[in-house]
Amino acid sequence: MDITLFSPKGTHSHHFFSLSNQQLQQSNGDQIALDMQTNNNNNIQPQNSCHTSTSRSSDSGEPCADTTGGNKWASKLLKECARAISDKDSSKIHHLLWMLNELASPYGDCDQKLASYFLQALFCKATESGQRCYKTLTSVAEKSHSFDSARKLILKFQEVSPWTTFGHVASNGAILEALDGETKLHIIDMSNTLCTQWPTLLEALATRNDETPHLKLTVVVTVSLVRLVMKEIGQRMEKFARLMGVPFEFKVITGLNRLVELTKETLGVKEDEAVAVNCIGALRRVAVEERGAVIQMFQSLKPKVVTIVEEEADLTSSRYDFVKCFEECLRFYTLYFEMLEESFVPTSNERLMLERECSRDIVRVLACDDDNNSSNNGNGDREEEECERRERGSQWAEKLKEAAFSPVGFSDDVVDDVKALLKRYRAGWGLVLPQGDDNTSGIYLTWKEEPVVWASAWKP
Amino acid sequence: MLDKMPEDTIPNGFVQNSVIAGSNNPPNTAAKKKRNLPGTPDPEAEVIALSPKTLMATNRFLCEICGKGFQRDQNLQLHRRGHNLPWKLKQRTSKEVRKRVYVCPEKTCVHHHPSRALGDLTGIKKHFCRKHGEKKWKCEKCSKRYAVQSDWKAHSKTCGTREYKCDCGTVFSRRDSFITHRAFCDALAEETARVNAASSMNSLANGSISYHFMGTPLGPSVAQHFSSIFKPIPGGGADETIDQTRRGLSLWMAPGSQGHETVGSNLTEIQQLGSVSSEAMYGDHPPPSDYHFNWVFGNNKQSSNNAAEAPAIASASLPLTGVKEAAATASHHHQLVSVNVPSLYSSQQQQTTTHQTQAAAAAANMSATALLQKAAQIGSASTDPSLFLGSLGFKCSSNINQVQDGNKYCGLMYCSNAIADRHLGNDVEISSASDISSLSQLQMPPPAKRRHLQSDRQAESAGGQTRDFLGVGVQAISCHPSSINGWI
């Protein structure tokens, strides 16, 4: 069936995104054969074509298992559209955007979801409305954001997937080993996991065979959404630490525009404290040019150990090449969405929330121009300028080495702990250890053989 | 020549050291073979000191004819028959059955001294392994490490089968997600003591906490909790039993905090249960007998109320391995803050999962919660309590006034228990440093002094610092021998 060119439907407006969903058939070969059937029910219920099992089911209509995106219609269309935008081929852009819009749905299967969220980003890119869109999305999210919802979300996520707990276990292990024997600990935490890392660390401290040390936890908040719930989180942490019998101090640092500006004084680091810096998913939010400086700042805190956990994707080196950046972004989020699909139950609300978070990130990466942000922004407040440019573990490792950090290998015990952790989840997860002289120091969490999260420990 | 012990002739690094062990042990009077306390060997016993290599050697028994080694003496004898020895040589030795005790080859170990020798070869082997050995055995599921294979096996059986129940009702099969949930759970936020059902305690299936509560229960409400909490449990239990145990303990706590009078008076009857310190917890009800209970333990770093009044009790006390110094309870010792009940079988400090929020009846009891939790965690031992208990060989003397006896044992008990804890080799080293330090602080008190202190104690009012009954300062904790039995 041939696809005839449609004339663009008026101006590109938000109206674009509210069309009904279509059911899709698997495409084969180069020709995209579309069997357009309207399915009126799709707006409400997610389509259950992708089973939440780890096996690659091919019997259902839309297997989500392919990660290369070779035969997937969404991937093809999206890439074509990206190319069109890069080439500024406006009729093609219109055409593809329209097609994607017809086929996409945030409640459908993987393809449809990816199509939906990337379409949004492409649209913003094409119309240069990325910044505005991002702001809108953020404010919408903030309105529905609460301690309860955030807690429920992250705990559920951690229950079904080791995506975050992998980094937690590795980092906690490294921190405990590096600070072993110290009596006054000070952990500088810059993470995006809402302090869910710390209960297990507190428990480990409480059950250490020697004297339970005093722990001071300073949380640096870089994401505006997180700031809202930090107070409550802090209270819970304090209570829990009391329960554990660990002398505990909790402090939150917000309102800091840039990580680079942190100092020992602003963080309240005392001379007799053993410092650990814990960065989970935080470095990617730092502006690319400032990353080296931030790492130098870590050095200035004289930590005993620095633990870095980041997601494995390179959206930095290609940031001036839209198509490359787009393809890498698509690759990463395809993995992520598939992982979510297979980890949660089909009707999970939490998964939906996580996917929506992704949509904001995707818009931010693809459609928001970093350089323009500072000038476009009226006020001097640069907090909102968090970019989302991930880098691969090897790239971070290089930066850290440049700043005179040397890698600390994870001990066998920690590796065993990580392995035991992965065993508790569904199949599909794996662990990759550094191979000898490999440049990347750190361990990788793999999903279906693809490295997705990188965890490492460093000492000055 | 064959009169000598076989070991004499075996050139294997055996060192024989005939020492009369422990001069302060009571002679075995019972006709029946009775188990001694661990580390309190029969003074008539022969002390054998083996080198580490020999100890760990699997084939200690060597055939003198062909040199073949065997793990057991019986096996060696069987083998020797095959050599067709002439009758005379067949007589192995005319050795009388002389009890043998063994010392630990590790010099820094308490059991190195003959007075603290252990009576069982397997026991000393296991002790050496657990305490001084490399942990070669690792649990697949949770990556806990063990030095003794039997410990590891025992753990593997129960690992992962344990379920954790939060107070909010959610059940977890994974410990880490349980802990994280607990920290954020709304149930934690509530400070009210929750009476959470005998059901949870009764389901203390694999509980490794074995207390046998002897003596009069504390009071009606408390009693029922006790009976369900303290069940004798054979052999090493699972590690993660804390939650329910704790809950049980918290239950016990809760009534205590409110009805302290009852508790107080009843507590005195429970003196046989480890009286930890002599400080009168219940000022208005000074226990009639010598011993007071100071159930308050906690982390003195915690800023609980009236910290100044907190008796600082070293956790090293017999039952309290791993518990830090006590924090005071809010209201002038009128509250049962915490009980380090499980600590008798301490070793596991790991299980600090916290169910105990309910135990924190009042705000002041935050420390109580922690204490309880520590207590529970200590109590959950993946160890074989019978090792400890059996070797105690004490019968709980309901008559506490046998101070005399108690005195003798006290120091030993203290030491032996602390060490016995270490016997129960666990993944986590039981004793904190404070254990050892207070252990060294502790000295055998002359009986007279102890009695004196006891009577002093009675006169004391509730206020003031707790003094350990040995009077050696705030740190050490008195131990009461029969109290140990109380927990059996």
Instruction: Quick: pLDDT tens for B371-387.
Output: 555 555 555 544 444 44
Look at residue B88 and tell me whether its pLDDT is greater than 90: no
Closest-CA distance of chain A to residue B234, Å: 24
- CB-based contact (8 Å) between A181 and chain B? no
Question: Using CB atoms, which residue from A169, A209, A247 is nearest to B349?
Answer: A209
Q: Is the pTM above the cut of 0.80?
A: no
Question: Using CB atoms, which residue from A200, A209, A233 is nearest to B432?
Answer: A209
Tell me the average pLDDT across A247-257.
83
Gap between the Cα atoms of A330 and A328, Å rounded = 5
Cβ atoms of A400 and A303 closer than 8 Å? no
Q: Is A90 inside any structural domain?
A: yes
Residue of B nearest to A236 (CA): B184
Contact A155 B180 (CB under 8 A): yes
Which amino acid, residue B400? I
Look at residue A9 and tell me whether its pLDDT is greater than 90: no
Q: Which of A409-418, B41-50, B54-63, B274-283 shows the lowest mean pLDDT across its residues? A: B274-283
Tell me the average pLDDT across B82-105.
68
Look at residue B231 and tell me whether its pLDDT is greater than 90: no
State pLDDT tens for residues B8-53: 444 444 444 444 444 444 444 444 555 556 656 677 777 777 777 7
Return all residues near B55 (Cβ < 8 A) that are at least 6 apart.
B105, B124, B125, B128
Task: Mark whether A347 and A446 lie in a shared domain.
Answer: no
CB contacts of B136 in chain A (<8 Å) are none
State pLDDT tens for residues A111-137: 999 999 999 999 999 898 989 999 999
Question: Using CB atoms, which residue from A155, A233, A416 is nearest to B181?
Answer: A155
| A32 vs B67: which has the higher pLDDT | B67
Q: Is A384 inside any structural domain?
A: no
Contact A212 B141 (CB under 8 A): no
Look at residue A146 and tell me whether its pLDDT is greater than 60: yes
CA B457 to chain centre: 25
Return all residues near A412 (Cβ < 8 A) that are at least 6 apart.
none
Return all residues near B157 (Cβ < 8 A) that are at least 6 apart.
none
Q: Is A102 inside any structural domain?
A: yes
Look at residue A244 and tell me whether its pLDDT is greater than 70: yes
Q: Is A11 inside any structural domain?
A: no
Look at residue A419 and tell me whether its pLDDT is greater than 80: yes
Closest-CA distance of chain A to residue B429, Å: 5
CA distances from B107 to B21, B52, B112, B113 (A): 17, 11, 6, 8
Instruction: Describe the crossing of helices A224-244 and B366-379 by its angle, rounded to 10 degrees.
Output: 70
Gap between the Cα atoms of B142 and A417, Å rounded = 7
Cβ atoms of B433 and A210 closer than 8 Å? yes
Cβ atoms of B176 and A166 closer than 8 Å? no
| B205 vs A239: which has the higher pLDDT | A239
Tell me the average pLDDT across A198-208.
90
Q: Is A66 inside any structural domain?
A: no
| A333 vs A16: which has the higher pLDDT | A333
Mutate to test the interface with A, among B176, B247, B297, B429 (most CBs of A within 10 A): B176
pLDDT of residue A444: 94
Q: What is the helix (H) or strand (E) element at residue B228, kind and residue range? A: helix B220-229
Q: Which of A227-241, A320-334, B151-165 shows the lowest mean pLDDT across its residues? A: B151-165
Look at residue A291 and tell me whether its pLDDT is greater than 50: yes
Residue of A nearest to B321 (CA): A209
Tell me the average pLDDT across B87-113.
69
Task: Mark whether A260 and A402 lie in a shared domain.
Answer: yes
CB neighbour burial string for A374-409, b if at least 16 within 10 angstroms, e if fewer: eeeeeeeeebebbbbbbbbbebbbebbeebebebbe
Q: Strands B69-70 and B100-103, how do they pair? A: unpaired
Q: What is the helix (H) or strand (E) element at residue A23, kind and residue range? A: strand A22-23
- CB-based contact (8 Å) between B179 and chain A? yes
Task: Mark whether A161 and A244 lie in a shared domain.
Answer: yes
Gap between the Cα atoms of A179 and A174, Å rounded = 8
% of chain A with per-residue pLDDT over 70: 79
Gap between the Cα atoms of A383 and A302, Å rounded = 26
Look at residue A333 and tell me whether its pLDDT is greater than 90: yes
Question: Using CB atoms, which residue from A202, A207, A240 is nearest to B188?
Answer: A240
Q: Is A14 inside any structural domain?
A: no
Residue of B nearest to A147 (CA): B184
Q: What is the helix (H) or strand (E) element at residue A215, kind and residue range? A: strand A214-220
pLDDT class of B68 with cuts at 50, 70, 90? confident
Q: Is A169 inside any structural domain?
A: yes
Task: Mark whether A270 and A190 lie in a shared domain.
Answer: yes
Mean pLDDT of chain A: 80
Q: Is A206 inside any structural domain?
A: yes
Question: Using CB atoms, which residue from A151, A155, A207 is nearest to B377?
Answer: A207
CB contacts of B370 in chain A (<8 Å) are 242-245
Question: Using CB atoms, which residue from B183, B324, B429 is nearest to A240?
Answer: B183
| B169 vs A70: which has the higher pLDDT | B169
Task: Mark whether A276 and A355 lie in a shared domain.
Answer: no
Give the SS3 label for residue A92.
Answer: helix
Complex ipTM value: 0.77
Gap between the Cα atoms of B462 and B487, Å rounded = 26
Tell me the average pLDDT across B73-95.
73
Look at residue B327 and tell me whether its pLDDT is greater than 80: no
Task: Mark whether A238 and A354 lie in a shared domain.
Answer: no
| B444 vs A276: which has the higher pLDDT | A276
Mutate to test the interface with B, among A158, A214, A242 (most CBs of B within 10 A): A242
State pLDDT tens for residues B104-156: 777 777 777 777 777 777 777 877 777 777 778 888 777 777 888 888 888 88
pLDDT of residue B418: 41
**Token pair of B218 as six digits:** 């504390």
pLDDT of residue B35: 59
Count, residues in chain B: 488
Size of interface A-B (CB pairs under 8 A): 114
CA B248 to chain centre: 19
**Token pair of B117 as six digits:** 């020798």
| B125 vs B481: which has the higher pLDDT | B125
The CATH number that applies at residue A224 is: 3.40.50.150
Contact A196 B366 (CB under 8 A): no
Q: Strands B171-172 and B164-165, how do they pair? A: antiparallel
Q: What is the DSSP letter of B83?
A: T
pLDDT of residue B76: 84
Q: Find the DSSP H helices in B428-473.
A: 433-441, 447-459
Cβ atoms of B113 and B17 closer than 8 Å? no
| B27 vs A179: which has the higher pLDDT | A179
Contact A424 B174 (CB under 8 A): yes
Look at residues A386, A391, A362, A366 and name the one whose alpha carbon lies nearest to residue A374: A386
- CB-based contact (8 Å) between A210 and chain B? yes
Look at residue B195 and tell me whether its pLDDT is greater than 50: no
Task: Mark whether A357 and A272 lie in a shared domain.
Answer: no
pLDDT of residue B161: 76
Task: Mark whether A223 and A269 lie in a shared domain.
Answer: yes
Q: Which of A34-48, A282-296, B53-67, B113-127 shows the lowest mean pLDDT across its residues? A: A34-48
Contact A209 B180 (CB under 8 A): no
pLDDT of residue B404: 43
Start-to-end CA span in chain B (Å): 46
State pLDDT tens for residues A349-359: 999 999 999 99
% of chain A with per-residue pLDDT over 90: 49
CA distances from B116 to B22, B128, B319, B372, B483 (A): 7, 14, 19, 31, 20
Gap between the Cα atoms of A387 and A372, Å rounded = 12
Task: Mark whether A274 and A173 lie in a shared domain.
Answer: yes
Look at residues A128, A135, A90, A123 and name the one whose alpha carbon lies nearest to residue A18: A123
**Token pair of B362 as six digits:** 């009042």
Look at residue A345 and tell me whether its pLDDT is greater than 60: yes
Count, residues in chain A: 460
Task: Mark whether A172 and A302 lie in a shared domain.
Answer: yes
Burial environment of residue A45 by CB neighbours within 10 A (0 to 12, 13 to 18, 19 or more): exposed
Task: Mark whether A267 and A412 lie in a shared domain.
Answer: yes
Look at residue B218 and tell me whether its pLDDT is greater than 80: no
pLDDT of residue B163: 80
- CB-based contact (8 Å) between A424 and chain B? yes
Gap between the Cα atoms of A371 and B74, Å rounded = 84
Task: Mark whether A324 and A290 lie in a shared domain.
Answer: no
3-state helix, strand, coil in chain B (%, to 5): 40, 5, 55
Look at residue A227 and tell me whether its pLDDT is greater than 50: yes
Domain with A403 in it: 148-312+390-432+439-459
Question: Using CB atoms, which residue from A155, A200, A417 is nearest to B184?
Answer: A155
Q: Strands A305-311 and A406-408, how do they pair? A: unpaired
Considering its fold, how many domains does chain A have in total? Answer: 2
For A:21-60, CB contacts with B below 8 A are: none
Burial environment of residue A28 by CB neighbours within 10 A (0 to 12, 13 to 18, 19 or more): exposed
DSSP secondary structure string for all residues of B108-153: TSGGGSGGG-BS-HHHHHHHHHHHHS---EE-TTT--EESSHHHHH
Q: Which of A133-137, A202-206, A273-277, B70-74 shows the lowest mean pLDDT across its residues? A: B70-74
% of chain B with per-residue pLDDT over 90: 0
